[in-house]
Amino acid sequence: MLPTVQKSERFQTELKEYQEVMSSMPDSEIKTEMKTLVGKLVNAVKELDSRHLDLAITRQLGVMAPDIRDSITHTRKRLQTIVRDWKEAQR
């Protein structure tokens, strides 16, 4: 079985941090945005893992893989900004 991003320790740690931050937030637009972004991130990572599996099997990289990586990067940056801002506001 190929290693997957979704099951990686780093990804699981990030998800746990996002969940902890969301659970400490009151219901708000930012919390709703975070929930949406986390869902988008999980779906993009699943798609990337699927593409990697396809690559291993067919030895052909799909044309969408760079777009998926860009989406993951953009989503993670936005989530990290929200987490950073929230933690600073709690001090």
Q: How far apart are the first and last CA of the chain?
A: 44
For residue 24, give every residue at least 6 positions away whose Cβ sits within 8 Å of its Cβ, in sequence order, or none: 86, 90
The token pair at 53 is 């599996």
pLDDT of residue 66: 76
CA distance linking residue 59 with residue 76, whole number of Å: 28
Taking Cα atoms as reference points, which of 1, 77, 6 lies closest to residue 46?
6
Which pTM value belongs to this model? 0.84
**What does DSSP assign to residue 5?**
S
pLDDT of residue 33: 97
Can you give the residue ranges of every domain in the chain?
Answer: 29-89
CA distance linking residue 21 with residue 24, whole number of Å: 5
- Tens place of pLDDT for every residue, the chain, 91 residues? 678 889 999 999 999 999 999 999 999 999 999 999 999 999 999 998 888 787 777 776 665 567 888 999 999 999 999 999 999 998 8
